Amino acid sequence: MSIKDDFIKKIEVQIKDLEFKITKVGKKLNELNKDSLEHHEYETLKRELEQKRNKLQEQLIEAKEIADEAFNKEVAKDFDDLYKTLVKGTEAIIERKTID
């Protein structure tokens, strides 16, 4: 597997994980009273997770558009730095609220 393929696979896995978490948050929202503070907190959580997922999807599209030979270690490092930032941001969001 090339550097690009490895990176694309990593982003796809993270996107699927976020989609799973977004679904769980959505189910939790359906259980809560719409006027409650907890409902508002989960709405905010869902919105933030969706934003992270969208940014990762944009990054995935960009990575796929770069030619294999142009996706060298320097480009991979730039993408990986952005990826790590998004993942850490996602983890910080998740830590605020337990998703069961």
- pLDDT tens figures, 9-58: 988 998 998 899 899 889 988 998 889 888 888 899 899 889 989 988 99
Domain hosting residue 76, numbered range: 3-96
Q: Report, in this order, helix, strand and coil percent for the chain, each rounded to 5.
A: 85, 0, 15
DSSP-assigned letters across all residues of 6-31: HHHHHHHHHHHHHHHHHHHHHHHHHH
**pTM for this entry:** 0.75
By the 8 A CB rule, do 76 and 12 touch? no
The radius of gyration computed from the CA coordinates of the chain, to the nearest angstrom, equals: 16
Indicate the number of domains in the chain: 1
Per residue in 64-91, pLDDT (tens digit) is: 888 777 777 777 777 778 777 777 767 6
Say which residue the tokens 């996706």 belong to: 71
Classified as helix, coil or strand, 72 is coil
Element (H, E) at 1: none
